[in-house]
Amino acid sequence: MSNHHIPVIAIDGPSASGKGTVASLVATRLGFHYLDSGALYRLVAYAAMRANIAADDEAALAQEASGLEAVFESGRVRLQGEDVSDAIRAEACGNLASKIAALPAVRHALLARQRAFRAVPGLVADGRDMGSVVFPDANLKIFLTASAEERANRRYKQLSGKGIAANIAALLQDILERDARDTERRAAPLQKLDDALLLDTTSLTIAEAVERVVAHYQNVENLRKR
């Protein structure tokens, strides 16, 4: 049975733009399910690191992705029963995930798993290709971004808050490199679609960004019901 009648808000954007936090809070506001697609790629990266799979072994990585025993529950992520919520957020895991995400076979292996998150009453999904590939029929598409400098500053504060030493210049360089990988890759590159609304959060608080997304969605729904 088709689930295309179930509403989806697709929020795409570059690394450290705040889309994950915004998407999660929008989902809570609307009572929708939430898909953190980046966590799936981080899970593949974590599993690959644990199994000593090379970053360029596309076939082995795709096989790992298709067989992930992952569970998302109450804001936590479990892999084969192990809570890996914090482990997959490590910078090394994020860097590998960015490289793995450029591999077509891995993206294909995770496509059906991502689409399965679409369930009543609705879904808010964040990532790089939610609106372009995973949910091209999304009710609302948002391209959420911020300046590279602001994103580096946010990442620095996030890491510092966790007691993790960080260098803001190195973080900025890492963000610029991830942006290049995401926008230049052959498979599902990061891009702002013509039917997506641009939301620059450089000078916005998280609360303000959430309000704007919710308002846009309500406007879309009001127009649809007319």
Which pLDDT score, from 0 to 100, does residue 70 have? 85
Cα distance between residue 129 and residue 193, in whole Å: 10
Q: In Å, how far are 65, 66, 108 from 50, measured between CA atoms? A: 13, 16, 22
Q: In Å, how far are 16, 107, 189, 200 from 61, measured between CA atoms? A: 24, 10, 19, 34
12-35 pLDDT, tens per residue?
A: 999 899 999 999 999 999 999 999
What value does the mean pLDDT take over residues 116-125? Answer: 95
Name which of 21, 29, 26 is nearest 9 in CA terms.
26
β-partners of residue 127 are: 12
Which pLDDT score, from 0 to 100, does residue 1 have? 46
Burial category of 113 from C-beta neighbours within 10 Å (exposed 0-12, middle 13-18, buried 19 and up) = middle
Mean pLDDT of the chain: 92
Which pLDDT score, from 0 to 100, does residue 65 have? 94
What's phi and psi for 147, nearest 5 deg?
-65, 155
- Tokens representing 19? 């889309």
What domains lie within the chain, and their CATH numbers? 8-217 (3.40.50.300)
Q: Is the pLDDT of residue 146 over 50?
A: yes
**Non-local CB neighbours of 220 within 8 Å, separated by 6+ positions:** 139, 140
Q: Show the CA angle centred on residue 139, arms to residues 148 and 78, nearest 5°.
A: 65
Cα distance between residue 48 and residue 193, in whole Å: 32
Cα distance between residue 93 and residue 184, in whole Å: 21
For residue 70, the tally of other CB atoms under 10 A from its CB is 18
Local structure of 219: helix, strand or coil: helix
Is the overall model pTM greater than 0.85, yes or no?
A: yes
Q: Among 39-48, 65-74, 181-190, which stretch is predicted with the lowest mean pLDDT? A: 65-74
Residue 13 gets the label, from left (phi > 0), alpha (psi -120 to 50) or beta, of left
Cα distance between residue 34 and residue 108, in whole Å: 20
Structure letter (DSSP) for residue 186: S
Q: Is the pLDDT of residue 75 over 80?
A: no
**Confidence class for position 2, pLDDT limits 50, 70, 90:** low
Tell me if 172 sits within 8 A of 152, measured CB to CB: yes
